Amino acid sequence: MKSTSARKSLWILAAGHFALDSYNGYLAPLLPLLIAKHGMSVAVAASLASVLSVSSSGLQPLFGYLADRHRWRVFVWLSPFVTGFFISLLGVAPNYAALATFLFLSGLGTAAFHPLAAASAHAVAGDRKGHGMSIFVTGGNVGHSLGPVIILPVVMLIGLERSWVMMLPAFVVSVLLYFWAPDPKREAKIATTGNLADLKARWLPLTLLWLLVTLRAVVIAGFSNFMPILLRSHGTALFLAGSSITIFQLTGSVGSFLGGALSDRIGRLQTLLLSFSLPVPLFLGFLAVQSDLRLILIALAGFGIFLSIPANLVEAQNLFPRNLSTVSSLMIGLAWGTAGLLLTPLGVLADRFGITAMLTGLALSTLLGVLLTAGLWASLKRITVAAEPVSRAEEAVPVP
């Protein structure tokens, strides 16, 4: 990072990311309560997660395109309120249609925030792209992981029907971001010259990077959404079952934070290989063990699977430095939206074969990441892409 101002901007963006994604962590721990209240099957409940993912992730490319063209600051400061307001209404929703509507509207705030905020974080990170992006990414991961332990005590204390009180912190966060969030038109920079290989050749590695992100997102979303249901079916207390998400994602946040610096040191492709091979035996151990050891195993699995998130994002941004918001939306948004859509068929498989069998298949699928990384390495060898395509002089060029 190049200056105190740049570091401040990066940490402010990470703080906003933390606040917004904490609301996105509410749905999974509330699913057992919503299933009981509305009499839904696991598959129907999983479709709610799909609705949220379609809105919050699937629509990000649209907002990414708008962000690259206009860099509207409102995308950053208003988004936490939009997300928090609507997701806090889940407890008062009278039926499935209302639940789906609130989740879709909540997701619009998330979709608007991520592309522009991620592009700004890349721009202010200076020469240490991996480390800088890990700070931004970790802010969201920590927020998402703490979402369950924020909302569960509230609904256990005052009831699910009063979950609307949680929209108040969202209002406060948006007010603070209005005054303190950096101006994307001033902070975000793009390259205007530099070593740009044939752009057509870059689409293959970008596609492989997207497949890696999608695979990781499916695994993370699958375990995050179905773990509480699995543990509750084994007689685990509601709070502990919901807290399993926090354990999984909080240690994952540590992994994503350390993974950025690790990728700067050993290389991004090496970090990807480690991230997709390490968690497999840990996931399988979690599903096989019937003791408190399973929480340690899922914590270690979270550390491993989250490890390469910053490396994945920076590698993609470096391929298309003139379209940072759009590329970020593909990596953060479209990939996670695709994963969200797959939650519904995963729920169908869980209803038919059992949650344990479905999650076992999901854990084994992580090994596909090793093959995809090998293909990525081969595709990158065919093109000439500088490790940091944006030079220091180019980073000083403001967005017109």
DSSP codes joined into one string, 82-116: HHHHHHTTGGG--SHHHHHHHHHHHHHHHHHHHHH
**pLDDT of amino acid 199:** 64
Rounded-to-integer distance, Cα 252 and Cα 249, Å: 5
Using an 8 Å Cβ cutoff, are 383 and 206 in contact?
Answer: no
Give, in degrees to the nearest 5, the angle at Cα 383 between 381 and 384. Answer: 105
Q: Which of 24, 13, 5 is nearest to 340 (CA)?
A: 24
Dihedral through CA 345, CA 338, CA 55, CA 252, nearest 10?
100
Give, in degrees to the nearest 5, the angle at Cα 177 between 174 and 183. Answer: 135
**pLDDT of amino acid 389:** 47
Using an 8 Å Cβ cutoff, are 245 and 150 in contact?
Answer: no
Could you report the per-residue pLDDT of 37-61, keeping only the tens digit for each?
999 988 888 889 888 878 998 889 9
Q: Which of 101, 96, 103, 107 is nearest to 41 (CA)?
A: 96
Q: CATH number of the domain at 4-395, out of 3.40.50.2000, 2.70.70.10, 1.20.1250.20, 1.10.3720.10?
A: 1.20.1250.20
**Nearest 5°: phi and psi at 384?**
-100, 105
pTM of the model: 0.77
**pLDDT of amino acid 373:** 94
Domains of the chain, residue spans: 4-395
**pLDDT of amino acid 192:** 38
**pLDDT of amino acid 3:** 61
| 76's tokens | 């950053």
**pLDDT of amino acid 337:** 77
CA dihedral for 339, 345, 350, 356, sign (positive or negative): negative
Tens-level pLDDT at each residue, the chain (400 residues): 556 677 788 888 899 999 999 999 899 889 889 999 999 988 888 889 888 878 998 889 999 999 888 888 899 999 999 999 999 999 999 999 999 999 999 999 999 999 988 888 887 777 777 888 889 998 998 898 788 889 989 999 999 999 999 999 999 989 988 888 777 766 545 443 334 445 677 889 999 999 999 999 999 989 988 998 888 888 778 778 878 888 998 899 899 999 988 988 898 899 999 999 999 999 999 999 887 788 899 999 999 999 999 999 989 988 888 788 889 898 988 888 788 778 889 988 998 999 999 999 999 999 999 999 999 999 888 875 444 444 443 443 333 3
**pLDDT of amino acid 395:** 41
